[in-house]
Chains A and B, each alone.
Chain A
Amino acid sequence: MTASRRLLPWLLLTPALLIFAGLTLYPLGRTLALSLFATDYGFENAKFVGLENFQELWDSRFFRQAVTNTVVFTVVATVLEVAAGLGLALLLNRAFPGRTLVMTLLLAPFVLSTMVVTAIWRAWFHFDLGFLNNLLRAVGLPGVPWLFDPNLALWSIVLVDLWQTAPFAFLIIFAGLRLIPQDVYEAARVDGAGPWRRFRDMTLPLLAPYLFVAALLRSVDSFKLFDKVYAMTGGGPGQATETVSMFVYRQGFRFFDIGLASAAAVVMIVVAGLLAVVYAASLLKGAGR
């Protein structure tokens, strides 16, 4: 009885543990190992090269460009999305007729497949016939080469990402806003604090942990950027929208330089690991409150 009771939880965990071991832990370890070899597939005929792949990455103009693009995209998209989420949350904080409907409708872009989102926006960005340029020309402005201008393409993708995922930031920040006790505001009002003072000195500090979590989750996600770039620009024009994920994809699945692709993947895993530590620390801090 006791022996079977001790075994039972492990028995229950077995399927999940098997799936994790085979599909996550093993691939993770294999990526780490492959990053130390020059190989075009597995370990057969692979040559151990130590850290040479990382040296090659470091020297690669393309990789540096991909890193720069990814960082720029992540920072800009995250800041804009959290700001938009905060604005929406404040706007919808007070009850009004139709608020539930507005909230539900606002979530629509967030739950769509990224490929559907990309399909719509690629049509909107079309230079000659796209909806955006048609609008601009209708009011007498010149069309904008949204995806063809190397200086503009990444910002166009930021715009699409903002449209699709600001609702997610909104959901988190809105949840935080609902938890602020209203009597705090009553007291401040009695003390004569105006709306701006109340926002700056009370709402913002009380909301800070939620803004932080929203920013962290959005940056983690932006850091992986692949789908939109793959189908919208393919990384172009030139290297203007190449991201680290695209770099890994191209090296691994187009050029079959598995060693180099794995090294780039390791760099991504390390960065994700650091973000995970920050996230875990913030969760623990939240739990200790």
Chain B
Amino acid sequence: MIRIVAAFALCALSLIPLLWMVATSLKPPAEYVSTSIALWPQDPTLAHYRVLLDSGMWRLGLNSVVVALGTVALSLLAGLPAAYALARFELPKRFDVVFLGFVLVIKLAPPIALAIPLYQVLRALGLLDTHLGLILANQILALPFAIWMLLGFVRDVPYSFEEAAMLDGAGFVKRLLQIVVPLLMPGLVATAVFVAIMSWNEFLFALLFIQTPSKFTLPAFIATLINEDETLWGRLSAMGLIASLPVLLAVGLVRRGLTREVSVDQH
């Protein structure tokens, strides 16, 4: 009994900052710029949301969506064939071990350590200050993750299914598209969701490689709000809530997969 009460109490405690954000996004300034500890607004208002929408914030949300979709698409298009090759073929000189070791190093390397030359690469390609450039930069984290995760899922697809199709004369592409991909759907969806969340929350590359304010993703925009005026809390909270909702919904849907991601991390 004590255990249950403690668990729920801790859970509630850890959610207070989120509750504060939801409540503040609905408070008129007089209520949040105060010394009151009342969480819930006396006089709720949607004014902060209206200001954000009127100031064209939805376009920044669209930027985040475009970058997330692009990051997911590229990491799956490049990652699925790579994962398939690593899972199904005997590669010379333990290429798979070398490859997975390399992936590990990238995972552990600080992104800022690659940022300077990456800036120069994107500039040389004419991709600085473009969403395509950011999508490419995001691959540094997204692609190793996608390959690592898809590798496990491909190994779970029985090879005998493919062999049966081969006897029926199905070529490689046909096998991949008609057997492997459909069986892999849950894994592809889970991988896509995690890569999307990763991209949605990514801040450093967005800060360094996007310069035009109208091209900002949501985290980069929130950073400007934080530094601009620290008592714009109503607008900031509304923005934070809008940016968090898709992620929270996605995680609610794939919580089981999140546990799997952690076990992928360890093995």
CB atoms of A248 and B236 under 8 A apart: no
CB atoms of A19 and B78 under 8 A apart: yes
CB atoms of B114 and A15 under 8 A apart: no
B115: A residues at CB distance < 8 A: 248-249, 252-253
Tell me the complex Cα distance, A120–B222, Å.
11
Q: Which residue of chain A has the shortest Cβ distance to B118 in the bound complex?
A: A27
In the complex with contacts A15-B82, A105-B11, A116-B244 CB distance below 8 A: yes
CB atoms of A12 and B85 under 8 A apart: yes
Instruction: Choose from B78, B197, B233, B251 the contact partner of A15 (Cβ within 8 Å).
Output: B78
Binds B, one of A48-56, A150-158, A185-193, A265-273: A265-273
Instruction: Choose from A30, A104, A175 the contact partner of B263 (Cβ within 8 Å).
Output: A175
Interface positions of A from 101 to 121, Cβ below 8 Å from B: 102-109, 111-116, 118-121
A234: B residues at CB distance < 8 A: 227
- B199 CB, nearest partner CB in chain A, Å: 11
Check if A223 is an interface residue, CB within 8 A of chain B. yes
Instruction: Choose from B81, B113, B121, B233 the contact partner of A248 (Cβ within 8 Å).
Output: B113
Q: Which residue of chain B has the shortest Cβ distance to A225 in the bound complex?
A: B110
Chain B's interface size range is 35 or more
CB atoms of B251 and A108 under 8 A apart: yes
- A174 CB, nearest partner CB in chain B, Å: 8
CB atoms of B240 and A119 under 8 A apart: yes
Instruction: Choose from B10, B17, B89 the contact partner of A124 (Cβ within 8 Å).
Output: B17
A253: B residues at CB distance < 8 A: 115-116, 119, 208
CB atoms of B252 and A104 under 8 A apart: yes
Chain B interface main SS type: helix
B243: A residues at CB distance < 8 A: 113, 115-116
Instruction: Choose from B7, B114, B222, B265 the contact partner of A96 (Cβ within 8 Å).
Output: B7
Tell me the complex Cα distance, A115–B221, Å.
9
CB atoms of B204 and A279 under 8 A apart: no
CB atoms of B101 and A280 under 8 A apart: yes
Q: In the complex, which of the residues A30, A119, A120, A253 has the most CB atoms of chain B within 10 Å of its own CB atom?
A: A119
Tell me the complex Cα distance, A121–B111, Å.
24
Q: In the complex, which of the residues A9, A41, A224 has the most CB atoms of chain B within 10 Å of its own CB atom?
A: A9
- B7 CB, nearest partner CB in chain A, Å: 5
CB atoms of A276 and B247 under 8 A apart: no
Q: How many A-B residue pairs have CB under 8 A?
A: 266
Count A-side interface residues using an 8 Å CB cutoff. Answer: 96
In the complex with contacts A23-B140, A175-B262, A13-B240 CB distance below 8 A: no
Check if B72 is an interface residue, CB within 8 A of chain A. no
CB atoms of A131 and B203 under 8 A apart: no
Tell me the complex Cα distance, A15–B73, Å.
13
Instruction: Choose from B14, B109, B231 the contact partner of A269 (Cβ within 8 Å).
Output: B109
B111: A residues at CB distance < 8 A: 224
B81: A residues at CB distance < 8 A: 12-13, 15-16
The 5 closest A-B pairs by CB, nearest first: A27-B117, A30-B117, A12-B81, A16-B82, A15-B78
Q: Which residues of A contact B (CB under 8 A)?
A: 8-10, 12-13, 15-17, 19-20, 22-24, 26-28, 30-31, 34, 41-42, 88, 91-92, 94, 96-99, 102-109, 111-116, 118-124, 126, 128-129, 131, 134-135, 137-138, 163, 168, 171-172, 175, 210, 213, 217, 220, 223-224, 226-227, 230-231, 234, 244-245, 248-249, 252-253, 258, 261-262, 265-266, 268-269, 272-273, 275-276, 279-280, 283, 286-287
Query: Can you sample 25 A-B contacts with CB below 8 Å?
Result: A8-B89, A13-B86, A16-B78, A19-B139, A23-B121, A24-B106, A34-B116, A91-B7, A108-B251, A111-B248, A113-B218, A116-B244, A119-B239, A126-B231, A131-B20, A134-B36, A175-B263, A224-B110, A226-B112, A252-B116, A258-B116, A265-B113, A272-B110, A273-B109, A286-B267
